[in-house]
Amino acid sequence: MSSALQEKEILFKSTDARPDRIASSNPDDFLVPNGREEEWRYTPLKRVGNLHNDAKAEQDINYEIVAASGITHSILTRDEVKTKFLATDRISSRTQSLWNKALVIDIPQELETKDLTWIKIDIKSGVQYGHVIINAKAHSKATIILEHVGEGIAGINCEIIADVNSNIDFITVYDLARKGVIVSEHQFVINKDANIRSLVVQLGGDVVRYVPRAKFSGNHGAVELLGVFLATNGQFFENRVFVDHNMKDCKSNVLYRGGAQGEGSHTVWVGDVLIRKIATGTNTYEMNRNLLLDDGARADSVPNLEIETGEVEKAGHASVTGRLDDDQLFYLMSRGIDEPTARQLVIEGFFSGIFGEFTHPELKERLNERLNAAIERSHK
């Protein structure tokens, strides 16, 4: 019998501010979206390869991994996997019901490593579904990179469980080929005194929809959800964040920076933070900054903050969308730098604040290489 049992959870009931929100492993608990629903109103459903309706898996996901010393990994069938993952939308729920093999990463108790663990998922062709589980045991510390490439169509979910006093850096990179499509839901579970710092980087693909959900399973936990995305030449990148403060004295910081260039390029960021009545002492802030690089691009940004208790330490949100700073360009060009190089330097500077959060030299180098390649592609 599969351990991925069908269950259903009501995350919250509808109010004037928001509709019902459920989590379930059963796709039938979600209506097939038509684009008029709030959570799907931006997503170009005609471009997601029918993942939302009846697309079947054409082949299994191929996981490649280079693990740091002491970190173990295994590829397990559905019957071998223990998961409590409940999806929050139709595609993620279909993904959860259709994957055949999952990658499970175990970070042992009290293991601390500065070496990187790299996971590569190559979506070569066709429709594929996958699942990744990362278990960080108590008092562990590690950095995990999950990289997606290829030109196929995929639904891939991921769950990251941080046990007591663990500290995890988790970086997700979407650098698909031009025709690639991926829809992912990531769930972060933060236990007592644990810390997760997550970075998502969206640079390649036709459509990328990313839904991170963070919840706490103990007091004094902390989560950072960071993001960088650059859509060019008609790409669509969507990020829908949900932070559920359901424990006392926890912290969350959400910071996303996005850019869009070229006719038809479209980015979407929706940030939902819910502070429940029980979550006294919460410290939370969310910010999205967007850079429109020409007249044909579009950026939608919707920050939402709902507070059910008056006993919070700090709570705020903000969103800013603007165009490339002509004064910065003029300054650089007045010193002999040509316009394409000046534009690239300004864009790099816009994103560098987030990449600067990560100090590992190899990681920073690879991230900057990917970003620079995407910026160069945008000029062609």
Q: Give the pLDDT score at 369.
A: 84
Tell me whether strands 236-245 and 207-216 are parallel, antiparallel or unpaired. Answer: parallel
Q: Give the pLDDT score at 1.
A: 34
Does any domain span residue 142?
yes
- Cβ-based neighbours of 295, under 8 Å, separated by 6 or more: none
Query: Is 121:156 a contact under the CB 8 Å cutoff?
Result: yes
Pick from 314-328, 329-343, 355-369 the range whose average pLDDT is largest.
Answer: 314-328
Q: Which of 7-21, 140-154, 164-178, 273-287 has the lowest mean pLDDT?
A: 7-21
Does any domain span residue 299?
yes
Q: Give the pLDDT score at 25.
A: 86
Q: Give the pLDDT score at 380.
A: 61
Does any domain span residue 232?
yes
Could you read off the pLDDT of 110-163 as tens digits, one per residue?
A: 999 999 999 999 998 899 999 999 999 999 999 999 999 999 999 999 999 999
Please, how many CA atoms are within 13 Å of residue 180, restricted to the half-sphere of its CB? Answer: 25
Query: Is 70:105 a contact under the CB 8 Å cutoff?
Result: no
Does any domain span residue 1?
no
Does any domain span residue 319?
yes
Q: Distance between CA 103 and CA 69 in Å, rounded?
A: 17
Q: Give the pLDDT score at 2.
A: 42
Tell me the mean pLDDT in the region 363-369. Answer: 84
Give the number of domains in the chain.
1
Does any domain span residue 377?
no
Query: Is 3 or 25 the better-scoring residue by pLDDT?
Result: 25
Tell me the mean pLDDT in the region 211-227. Answer: 97
Q: Distance between CA 234 and CA 94 in Å, rounded?
A: 27
Q: Give the pLDDT score at 246.
A: 96
Does any domain span residue 356?
no
**Number of helical H runs and strand E runs in the chain:** 4, 20
Residue 348: band (very low, low, confident or very high) from pLDDT cuts 50, 70, 90: confident
Q: Give the pLDDT score at 281.
A: 98
Look over the chain and give the mean of its residue pLDDT values, rounded to a whole number: 91
Q: Give the pLDDT score at 4.
A: 46
* Rounded alpha-carbon distances, angstroms, from residue 108 to 69, 71, 157, 254, 360: 11, 7, 22, 28, 21
Q: Distance between CA 90 and CA 109 in Å, rounded?
A: 35
Structural domain span for residue 311: 8-324
Does any domain span residue 131?
yes
Tell me the mean pLDDT in the region 56-73. Answer: 95
For the chain, the helix, strand and coil percentages under 3-state DSSP, each to the nearest 5: 15, 45, 35
Q: Give the pLDDT score at 15.
A: 58
